[in-house]
Chain A
Amino acid sequence: MSDTTLGASFRDPSGFLFRRSGVLYRQVNVSYREHYDHLQTSGLLKRLRADRLIIPYDEVDIPPVTPSAYRILKPQPLEFVSYPYEWCFSQLRDAALTTLAIQRRALACGMSLKDASAYNIQFHECRPLLIDTLSFEIYREGRPWVAYRQFCQHFLAPLALMARRDVRLNQLLRVHIDGIPLDLCTRLLPWSTRLNFGLFTHLHLHAAAQRRYAARGTPDGQARRTPRVSRRGLEGILNSLEGAVRRLRWKAGETEWADYYDFTNYTSDAQEAKGRIVDRFLDKIVPTSVWDLGANTGRFSRLASGRGIPTIAFDIDPAAVERNYLECRRGDERMLLPLLLDLTNPSPALGWAHRERMSLVERGPADAILALALVHHLAISNNVPLPRLAEFLHTQGRHLIIEFVPKSDSKVRTLLATREDVFPDYHEESFRAAFAPNFETLESERIPGTERTLYLMRAK
């Protein structure tokens, strides 16, 4: 029996995640017993489950990893683990509101969140859920909210930067694994944010308070007394944080890609024909999971998710991902998860010993990959040689539905208009040759009304 403890949960003395025979479990340590029992007896767990705010789990009777175990939990598995730097604005905003909603319920049941990490939230069936059952502690009257700073760093700061400065600043979360430092955030925010009560209080004033008191030594080596905060004061802070988050808005404007479908060189007939071919290929391979790389707003991803196949729709454009997510939410589309990803610089392994946050590659492979209207961007705009592209896709998918876009296509001509054509090998024959070592072509079909061809391949 070989157990693998997960690198993301090593900081918490209350317990840890481990994998045994491919199944994910969470060990709750004896040291957390009082809090864990209170979570059950206070009715908080029941309430969070009823409101679909926490990942469902079962207590199981299996041998523990260490003698310090109190309980072993088997959480419902997630289709895909995503990270805040892969979320669009509304995903991060919804995750923030979910965290506050959980904290409100916790306070009502005599508990409080001791962690407000964005990494404790995951999207499951298109809804943000708390995945860390050990995030609660019994609330002691008068104690401040210990996770207040973390909430501001993980949620309010990036949301404010995205809404009030530039939506791409969510990528700071990739660098700052415990959220964006508030002094950095306030330096980047426009001065006008000081006129917003919530942002002024929880970001600007907060950063100033950190600066001022961080430098003050404890007098005569005595421990500083923890300040008292009334329950009503905590409610006021939660109201204020929620108001600040709700007032932050970002509208997906006209970016390069968000209006792509309106400005393609496809006729609507060709688009429909392409959809029919993808449909047919999906029916042929019946994949158990799909990654759509370069999904834009998810038109073709929905051909997979509409069949009940768990589908991740990756795109580089924050506006396209935002639109896709809002559409998922409106339609309660549970099988589709839109995420932000730059395929030329995908999410790396991060944190202590590179084990806290998984790279994209570690989270694969998918059963099938859709790579529609993508190859020319990677090969021509980003100089990725076709054999290297084939090698990468081979590591990430067992099946591949890929579209080859030739140089004669108007989109490729546009890409080549301002650069020297140093791609003599970019043609369909070399494309097939580049993929042949890694993939077996099952079928190919020209998309009617275009010069493009769709290939269905299987990894060798």
Chain B
Amino acid sequence: MTALATRESSAPTPQVPTSTSGSRRTAGSRRPRAGHFFVLPYVVLLALFGVIPVVYSIYLAFTKAGGGFAGFSNFTRSARDYRFVPAIEHVAMYVAIWLVALIVLVVLLALVVHRLVSGKAKAVVRFAYYIPGALAGASSVLLLLFVLDPTVSPVAMILRWTGNEHFTDVITPHHLPVIFAIIAFWTGAGGWILVLYGALNTIPAEVMEAAKVDGAGPVRTALNIQLPMIRKWVSYMVILSLAAGTQLFVEPELVSQASFGIVPNDYSVNQLAYQFAFTQNDFNGSAAISIDLLVVALLCAGLFVARGKLFETD
């Protein structure tokens, strides 16, 4: 994590217009104050709902229920639980499907939107992409539950063609990673398409012009010019999505309730942590699982930061 911190500290500093040394000093002395003011509410909320809970869960993970240092016993106990490995497999499978779908489809769709010539069409498509993301997480999952139930689904024909007569056929265990990936993609991808679209817009017109003059078609331009230039944005998307993906909870929890328990309520790692805390009254084991997740997400993020050269200045 030292590596992370170092990388973070070498993040690009804002490019200050450097006309005279005087103006720079004025800007330098004023900016932090205004900046602090804007950041303050976020820092307070982050401390209350981010940092303090994390510190508290680290404290819980290394202590016993009755108090006293527990070493790694909470970690070994929770990892030996019979539901732990299956939960990891479920989440890994889901994250793999989801991330690949996200990278391929989001980039593709962003390129398509960027190619559209008519301004009106662009606006309509951008709006359409954004709508699902505007729904709050849980409610969009509920909406998807209707789509997945052949009795009431507007796409019942497709579900039946693929051999799913009942809701219970749709939610069989081997369908679940794909179903959760579809739900996550539908609710979250729209926002990312817009972000990458924005990134594509930052590519200077003269570069694109030069590519055109050199005879590059849309595919070649995408592969050789656009993709390399938005690489950082893609790795940014992957890091945040990975962190969100490993925390899978709302989707399986709601599907579990809607299926009256056929999809178990310990499907994902986060759900298992929830079971530890609230069914077994084992808050320490639960905290240990949460820390496992944090460490994995940090390691993966570190990998992407390093590989994606995210904080390297141009």
Task: Tell whether A and B belong to one assembly.
Answer: no
